Chain A
Amino acid sequence: MLKRAGGLVLAWLTPLDASAQGDQSARPARGDVLVRVGDATATPLTPADVTGTAVVMAWPATPAGVVRSGSRLNRLVLVRLDPASLAERSRPHAAEGVMAYSAVCTHTGCEVGAFLADEQVLYCDCHESKFDPRDQGRVIGGPAPRNLPALPLTLVDGRLTVAGAFTARPGFEQG
């Protein structure tokens, strides 16, 4: 099932030119890989990089290596879940149990940056909104007015790869 990129280390840095700046801010697209926030080497993430106890904050990056960090609406929170625990509608969006969600809380736009492992919820500590990562980011607590948008994932050559657009507009609601 898993096609590992057997030992392949992608030295994968491409200097940005002006034409890449549009890609930086554009929403993620099918075929993008994911890279850890703050990773200067922009190494594509694999399911093994995401544990079951803590989130990984990530950016999408184009196959050409342009990290889409130009808009915070592209910021992602990755969490690894038991595939058997996933709601049916979320299963097609997971890659080996890894789910990707917009990290921008739908309440006021703070970062959803924590996974409460005992409750199995994604958590925004600004105003305590809670989302169920096993079920399409469904709101299960706090003031968030709508679900956290999911970013469908698949595996390509062992790498976490974007399989489609966000399931809803990332971002918060206007007051």
Chain B
Amino acid sequence: MGAGRFVAAVSTALLVARLLLEATPQQPAPAPPPAPLPMPMPAILKAYPAVTADRLLHPRDDEWLMIRRTYDGWGYSPLDQITPANVARLRPLWVFATGAVNGHEAPPLVNGGVMFVSTPGNQVIAVEVKTGRLLWRYRRPLPEDAVVMHPTTRGVALYGDKVYLPANEGVLVALDARTGKEVWTTNVGENQHGYYMTLAPLVAEGVVMIGASGGEFGIRGFVAAFDAETGKQVWKTYTVPAPGEPGSDTWPKGDQWKTGGAPVWVTGNYDPETRLAYWGTGNGGPWMGDQRPGDNLYTASTVALDVKTGQIRGHFQYHPNDSWDWDEVSPPILVDYQRDGRTVKGLINVARNGYLWFLQRSGGPISFVQGMPYVKQTVFRGLDPKTGRPDVDPDKKPATGKKAENICPSHWGGKNWPPISYSPKTRMIYIPANENLCDWLTGIEVDYEPGERYMGAQSGLSLAAGADHVGEVQAWHVDTGRRVWTHNYATSINWGGMLVTAGGLVFSGGTNDRKLHAFDAATGKLLWEFPTNSGILAPPSSFTIDGTQYIAIQSGWGIDSRLVQGRLNALTGGAYPEVPEGGAIWVFAVQ
């Protein structure tokens, strides 16, 4: 067909079509299949208030907008309606089954009367707090070949009209808080190479910051920041330096840095004054330090990151050349404390290595003030009084082909990831500790294979001689650096995040009897307990609805608490039986 004839043919066809349109009445289009009736948006979601930067910086006393409520990481509620005098009348208002199993580790966040929780299985649930009514549910099925050794979530972040969920397979998801629909997704890490995500994001200065798990898969850890509106990456800072970067001289000459670990799997805290975010890093990869000689910055450290640029402005390493799988992922809390008659702009960290650390923060460098064991610690012979660097007993340091025994605390630590809390009223920190748990470790040779475990270690749990308990709640005064009270759990580990309130109460689960506990914050007296559906790992939160103070918690045992429970059951001949699993949200108020 010639070009001219083609044009003519098309013109004719168009003309005919036009004539037909003008000449004949339009037939009704075939009816499309009936669409599901759009559910009218509940009024509470229509009225959903935006979470502004200012609200995150200065939350009202009755709000719980971030996993630890405030940027300093205190896990403190200024509400004081529930007190030691009335806590005995605390009763559940409603309970909501999440439909998920395994460890539920996310605190409920509340904004505008809407509660947001995340659960295992990449699920976010929005519930009307007052009624317990489901508003929406988001689920993102995991890829069938996903690499997720610890399939949990430690929470979401709220900002603007969005909810941010780091999906396990290494994808950051932004949801519309009103509908639960995806607004954008961004790939953060290569899951087939062992990068996975379980932490809540930290939102500050318009960016969403997250890190990745994978310390058992030879990842190279990082913290990355994404534009809160678009999901575009703003910066990415590795927690293991490449050759030539600051800190690279603490690694051997070879390729060990590429698989050096230092994963980031607990949310950092933020200092608005210096605009630094404090993040904790995990174990080195593989587990045995002799396979990567050197201090191995920034494994087992706190790093201070400039939120604008991601630049590392300061760091503190809790133990060099980690060989014990002591992830120091919990960030220090920001507390100004008294020492020797002066006020220290402080950082306080309860480390997995069994030491309690009092540090000093600045616009950059982090300096050592004081450190002391809070549980039995058999590995450090002491700390350098100036730098805090531990003097490691070589007999207690395992290596490839070398077994070290009676390592206390065990590789699960004196405290694992569950966060401490701090009350400015009592000036005490509250620690979920595990005493008397020790282990042995032997290094074995291991080859790196992307996405497969890269630990190179065998281990076994043991109880310290004469151990009469494991789980503890400890209270330490920040100005004296002394322990004030301890509550021992006779037959349980403690795997529960902490909440302390201005009403003078410490709330925490953590035990294998499925209970939520309330303690007198001043004295440690156990005032109230309630057995839930499963064991509680997540930290509680507190807020008001219509002027009434609520306590909210997710219950759902699993992940490593289950594993330690099983090993203790074997060690004790059946004293630590299985804990029922399956998740639920609980909301309590005084009746």
Interface residues in chain A, defined as those with a beta carbon under 8 Å from any beta carbon in chain B: 37-38, 71-73, 104, 108-111, 113, 126-128, 142-143, 169, 171-172, 174-175
Contact = CB atoms under 8 A, between A and B. Distances in A.
Contacts, number: 56
Given A37-B449, A174-B121, A175-B120, A109 B566 contact: no
Interface in B102-161: 102, 119-123, 141-142, 144-151
A171 B142 CA distance: 11
Contacts of A128: 563, 566-567
B138 to A, nearest CB: 14
B98 to A, nearest CB: 10
A175 B566 contact: no
Given A142-B566, A175-B151, A73 B452 contact: no
A105 to B, nearest CB: 10
Top 7 A-B residue pairs of the complex, sorted by shortest distance between their CB atoms: A175-B121, A175-B120, A171-B144, A73-B145, A175-B100, A108-B151, A175-B151
B213 to A, nearest CB: 12
B101 interface: yes
B562 interface: yes
Contacts of A104: 145
Contacts of A72: 145, 147, 192, 451-452
B100 A111 contact: no
B147 A109 contact: yes
A174 B149 contact: no
A109 B102 CA distance: 14
A169 B142 CA distance: 15
Question: Interface majority SS on A: helix, strand, loop or mixed?
Answer: loop
Contact of A111 (B122, B146, B447, B453): B453
Interface in B553-570: 558-559, 562-563, 566-567
A134 to B, nearest CB: 23
B139 to A, nearest CB: 9
Nearest to A25: B145
Interface of B: 100-102, 119-123, 141-142, 144-151, 192, 447, 449, 451-453, 558-559, 562-563, 566-567, 581
Contacts of A143: 558, 562, 581
A38 B452 CA distance: 12
A73 B144 contact: yes
Given A110-B149, A113-B453, A175-B151, 6 more contacts: A72-B147, A73-B144, A111-B453, A127-B559, A175-B101, A175-B102
Given A37-B449, A108-B149, A174 B141 contact: yes
Given A110-B453, A175-B121, A127 B151 contact: no
B283 to A, nearest CB: 15
Nearest to A75: B452
A71 B141 contact: no
A71 B145 contact: yes
9 contacts: A104-B145, A108-B150, A109-B145, A109-B149, A127-B559, A172-B146, A175-B100, A175-B102, A175-B151
Which of A71, A108, A111, A175 has the most C-beta atoms of chain B within 10 angstroms of its own C-beta? A175
B145 A174 contact: no
Nearest to B101: A175
Contacts of A174: 121, 141-142
A84 B94 CA distance: 56
B101 to A, nearest CB: 6
| Most chain B CB atoms below 10 A, which of A38, A104, A126 | A126
B145 A126 contact: no
